[in-house]
Amino acid sequence: MPNTAFNWKFLTGLPRFAFFTGKGGVGKTSLACATAVSLADAGQRVLLVSTDPASNVGQVFNTHVGANITEVPAVQRLWALEMDPKAAAQGWRDRLIGPMRGVAAADDVRAMEEQLSGACTTEIAAFDQFTALLTDPALSQRFDHVLFDTAPTGHTIRLLQLPGAWNSFIAEGKGNTSCLGPLAGLDKQRTQYEAAVNALADPLRTRLVLVARAQTSSLGEVARTQDELAKVGLHQQFLVINGVMPSGKTAQDPLAAAVARREQSALSHMPAALAALPTDHITLKAEDLVGLTPLRHFLDAPSTDGPSPQATQPSPVRLMDAPALGQLVDDLAAPGHGLIMVMGKGGVGKTTIAAALAVALASRGLPVLLTTSDPAAHLTETLNGEWPHLRVSRIDPLAETQRYREQVMATKGKALDEHGRALLAEDLQSPCTEEIAVFQAFSRVIREAGRQFVVLDTAPTGHTLLLLDTTGAYHRDIERQMGATGVHFTTPMMQLQDTHRTKVLITTLAQNTTVQEAALLQDDLRRAGIEPWAWIINNSVAAAHPTSPLLQARARHEWPFIDAVASRHAKRYAVVPMLATEPVGVVALAQLTEQHTHLA
């Protein structure tokens, strides 16, 4: 049974609703599941809801969990539900477009389908599903707690808070951004949405639990989430730092000791807004959190004793050679120019991998532009110096968005009356305006890849998929306009689909959630006609030759996911080991592509 005597801050006085949010691989699903079991064991009736498209809640409990509320057989008083955002989005489209088929002109129906094809629709449809859970009084009578694995994004809440007359504004053709379309027809539900947003912002009803790792990149990501949610009124936030290296078991392993020092440094320098939150630290566990026994021990009191004896019994060491990052560079360099996109979830090390590849290509005397579309990226800090043949730039979302707003107001807004300009200005405050503005900058960067290498450190996956949605919509619009003219044209999407001109590298960790999410990203890319070129497994314990029992146990747990990437998901792959020190600076980055990877 769990150590119920220990008082975790995030559990103290827990209200009815709790949202666990964090990037892939930080352990939010594990924490949500362990919390659900702990509350149910304590006599509470609990509903655990996953809004994550890569949900593995059913796998954690070794039972099937679907789109209906399902009792978890092994845990009394616990029920679970896995939402399907893609199915929700399709249902949303069918409800809006269905009545128009056979009534509206075919071109108008196709335009509606295009408008509702983006990731914004998926976000809003998922929000529509769980607003019922937040506002349904019957659920309040049935369950003491409703726990959500993955919180609503500030992006979606800002959309739903826009006070303008959505339907008339869209119908009159005054709107200019891509994501007001999914809001069409929502006026009848605005009362329910307002009630849901109010419930989210009420600290007596809702708590947000931000989950992060003790890593600079992870803390930076969660700080951005904290700020985004605070701006839309969600202030009841707690922070859980998961997977902290237990200091009592690092003395005999230089790698473990170095990781512990690095984590403590990251924690001591975390953003001030995060440091001010009520915070808990959960130590690194050796075993995967699958099944009830590890879940029930996950929230035991913090310990510096490392893993349990059962988890660290010696087992045969597995040795094999694995492709190293440097082995990809020869093929990347062969064309002499092109676009290299490094993609993946936040916190997997995309910026480091992108910078290392840029340094390696520049070291061969090739001209390289290293740039990023991630507002949280810190390329200059990662490079920490200059390198011959290497230039660095950044697609600044704020600057690009302001430039785009001014352009639209000066052109489309010029012909509107005062009321129309006011509505247009409000439309341009939508977060999707940023997606279009960044797309324009992205298109400019793509053109530069025709004469040099452009290594693009992309934003986390959700943001990037919105960018690809915009790219695809632009491509289809150009096809409609130019297809019948016979004039040759090339769109940004056509370049992304050309594997000779664009190489997409998916970065992941050797963990269940991040590999699942990377596989879903690959599926999304393939649906857009973009074939990923390679996968990179970053920060691998198995490739770092650990000697501490804790890290050796962690290494053994990586093998199924390394095997999955090598045998099922990737056409080619590379493994980058966990490092004792952060790879900051051009010399350290160059070493990342020079080492040979040997897994144990």
Specify whether 267 is located in the same domain as 338: no
CA distances from 285 to 60, 157, 329, 493 (A): 15, 35, 35, 43
Rounded Cα distance, 385 and 367, in Å: 17
285 is catalytic: no
**Marked catalytic residue, from 23, 28, 249, 503:** 28
443 is catalytic: no
Q: What does DSSP assign to residue 64?
A: -
User: pLDDT > 90: what percent of the chain?
Assistant: 25
**Marked catalytic residue, from 21, 29, 216, 502:** 29
Specify whether 452 is located in the same domain as 529: yes
27 is catalytic: yes
**Marked catalytic residue, from 27, 181, 220, 326:** 27
Specify whether 165 is located in the same domain as 277: yes
* N-terminal to C-terminal alpha carbon distance within the chain: 34
- Reported as type and span, the H/E element at residue 522 is helix 512-527
136 is catalytic: no
Instruction: Give a yes or no: residue 487 inside a domain.
Output: yes
Specify whether 451 is located in the same domain as 570: yes
**CATH number of the structural domain spanning residue 68:** 3.40.50.300
Specify whether 324 is located in the same domain as 294: no
Specify whether 140 is located in the same domain as 237: yes
Q: What digits encode the pLDDT tens for the residues 524-568?
A: 788 778 899 999 999 999 988 888 888 888 888 899 999 999 999
Specify whether 249 is located in the same domain as 345: no
> How many residues does the structure list for the chain?
600
Specify whether 38 is located in the same domain as 87: yes
Instruction: Give a yes or no: residue 303 inside a domain.
Output: no
DSSP 242-295: EEEPPGGG-TT-HHHHHHHHHHHHHHHTS-HHHHTS-EEEEEPPSS---SHHHH
Specify whether 387 is located in the same domain as 464: yes
Q: What digits encode the pLDDT tens for the residues 212-245?
A: 999 887 888 788 888 888 887 888 899 999 989 8
Specify whether 333 is located in the same domain as 241: no
Q: What digits encode the pLDDT tens for the residues 92-109?
A: 777 777 777 777 777 777
Specify whether 221 is located in the same domain as 155: yes
**Marked catalytic residue, from 21, 22, 52, 149:** 52
Neighbours of 170 (CB within 10 A): 18
Q: Which segments of 98-176 does DSSP mark as H helices, in order?
A: 106-115, 119-135, 137-142, 154-161, 166-171
98 is catalytic: no
102 is catalytic: no
**Marked catalytic residue, from 21, 30, 51, 491:** 30
**Marked catalytic residue, from 22, 24, 25, 338:** 25
The residue that leads in pLDDT, 271 or 491, is 271
Residue range(s) defining the domain that contains residue 547: 320-398+445-599
Instruction: Look at the alpha carbons of 557, 562, 563, 565 in this order and tell me if their dihedral is positive or negative.
Output: positive
Specify whether 252 is located in the same domain as 338: no
Instruction: Give a yes or no: residue 1 inside a domain.
Output: no
513 is catalytic: yes
Considering its fold, how many domains does the chain have in total?
Answer: 2
User: Do 28 and 19 contact (CB within 8 A), yes or no?
Assistant: no
3-state class (DSSP) for residue 336: coil
With bands split at pLDDT 50, 70 and 90, how would you rate the model's confidence at 158? low
Last residue of a domain, one of 264, 298, 332: 298
With bands split at pLDDT 50, 70 and 90, how would you rate the model's confidence at 165? very low
**Marked catalytic residue, from 117, 461, 513, 540:** 513
